[in-house]
Every structure is written in C-alpha cells, then in structure tokens.
Amino acid sequence: MLLRNVLRFALLGSVPLAAPAAVAQSADPVKPVARTDANSKLAHEQLLQKAKTGRIDVYFVGDSITRRWGATDYPKFLANWRQNFHGWNAANFGWGADTVQNVLWRLTNGELDGVKPKVIVVMAGTNNIGARPPAGGAEAKAAEIADGLKAVLDVCREKAPDAVVILMGITPRNDNPAAMPVIEKANERLERLADGKKVRYVNINAKLADKDGKLLEGMSPDRLHLSEKGYQVWADALKPILTEVLGPPAKEDRAPPPTGDPSAAGRPTGAKK
C-alpha cells in the first residue's frame, strides 16, 4: 500500500500543469525566482537573444497578459500590436504564468541588459493572486505584490535609468471571487509607487469592468486574459504617453521580430498560455 501511494504521488507530480510556474512563489516577495520547466528556459534564451536584436525603444515585460499581445502564436493580437505600436520600436518580453518574482528573475538575468529602452511597460501580479483565496488575506497578498513590483521598478531604474516606466494596474479577473479585493488593494499600493514623471501609473480597469469589477462584454475571452477589444483599451491608454516621450511613430519600425511560445508548434492557434 505504501509503495502504491508513493508511485501514485510520483505520477501525479509528473503531470504537466497548465500554468507550470505559477507555482514559482517565494516566501520573500522581492527574491527573484527562476522558472524551472524546459519550455520557460528555452523562452528565456530566446528573449535574451531578442534583447540583442534590432532597436527597442518600448520594452514590455510581464506575464501572459503581456505576452499574448505581441506573440506569433496569437496572430490576431499580434496584428493589433503592430497596428498600435509600429514605428515606436516596441518589443514584448512577457512570459505566460510568470509571478512577479519570475519577472524579477528574468530582468536580473539578462533580458534587460544593454537594451536601454526609452519606455518600459510593466504588467504583472495577477499570477501571485492565483485562482484561490489568498491564505494570508487580501491585505497581506496585496502588500507582497506591491513589494515585488517595487523591486521590479528598482531593477528597471538600475538597468535603464533614463527610461520612463509605465506601471500598469493589475487588470480585473472574474475566475476567482476573492481576486478583486486583492487587486484593488494592490493597485492602491502600486499607485503610490509612481512619481508621475519617471514612473507613471496607468489603471485601465474602469474601461475593462464595471464598478464591481465584473469584466464588460467582449473584454476577456476567459474571465482573466484580455481580448482584442481589451488590448485596444490598453493601447489607447499608452499611446498618449508614448507620443509624449517618443514623439509620433516613425514610418519604419526597427524592433526585433516577435517571438512566441516555443512549445506552440503543432498546436491550434490560440490554445496556449
């Protein structure tokens, strides 16, 4: 019986998870945490190469909400990305299922080195909330997320001191009833991290959801990620800042080619993280 149970747990532990490194939590919210699955390691190598390619004036970093927008495996979202950002040399460094600590690890392990963007857009934190009520309560979880994103901002300021950093408020999610109180409390803390000059706080939630945090029709395909309509709301909020910092978009775009999920080959378009 004991041997059978051991084998059972071993087999369960080997089953791939839909979001393999949403598990990459840390007791220390400001400690970088590496993703250990092979697909994430390969994506990191691709992003390291991407950081050395072309010209990057606008650097997007975050989790899947960021990643899907400029990814080859989401062609409709990529078309929207190009429509909004062509000429501003924008590059996407998002990766699906990343927590704030995972984003922090990627930034401290080469993905921003030598890039020197003029604008950095940060969207992260929802994977720290997860799909279950936070064990320590909404306030504690919000503080953890804000502390982690403060560390992300510090790395951005260190590696790209001349950049304007746009810190995005965490977007609504309706897959977990306990999520919205955490999001609201975290966003209150994130707003206080901005100085209105070098760090700008942008919250688009009032255009994505109603006053109770319920996502509006057409803004999300799955109660968490953004639809094309949701991404357009985000783009409309960013473009005035990009125009202020960079001027109008040029006719030519010199950003590196977009990347995608390394494991996406052979799978239906859009059926990915």
Residue-level pLDDT at 6: 34
Residue 60: which H helix or E strand, with range? strand 58-62
Determine the Cα–Cα distance for residues 42 and 40; give it in Å rounded to an integer. Answer: 5
Residue 52: which H helix or E strand, with range? none
Angle at Cα 160 formed by Cα 201 and Cα 108, nearest 5°?
95
Residue-level pLDDT at 205: 98
Residue-level pLDDT at 130: 78
Could you please report the per-residue DSSP string of 121-190? EEE--HHHH-SS--TT-HHHHHHHHHHHHHHHHHHHHHH-TTPEEEEEPPPP--S-TTHHHHHHHHHHHH
Query: Is the whole model's pTM more than 0.85, yes or no?
Result: yes
Q: Which amino acid is at 132?
A: R
Residue 235: which H helix or E strand, with range? helix 228-246
Residues 6 or more apart in contact with residue 49 via CB below 8 angstroms: none
Residue-level pLDDT at 135: 81
pLDDT in tens, the chain (273 residues): 433 333 332 333 332 233 333 433 446 999 999 999 999 999 999 999 999 999 999 999 999 999 999 999 999 999 999 999 999 999 999 999 999 999 999 999 999 999 999 999 999 999 999 777 788 899 999 999 999 999 999 999 999 999 999 999 999 999 998 999 999 999 999 999 999 999 999 999 999 999 999 999 999 999 999 999 999 999 999 999 999 999 999 999 999 999 999 999 766 555 445
Alpha-carbon torsion (189, 166, 94, 48), positive or negative:
negative
Residue 120 CA: distances (Å) to CA of 22, 38, 191, 231:
23, 27, 16, 17
Residue 47 CA: distances (Å) to CA of 59, 63, 67, 192, 240:
12, 13, 12, 30, 27
Residue-level pLDDT at 23: 37
Q: How far is CA 57 from the centre of its chain?
A: 18
* Contact criterion met (CB below 8 Å) for 186 and 151: no
Determine the Cα–Cα distance for residues 155 and 115; give it in Å rounded to an integer. Answer: 13
Residue-level pLDDT at 17: 30
Residue-level pLDDT at 131: 73
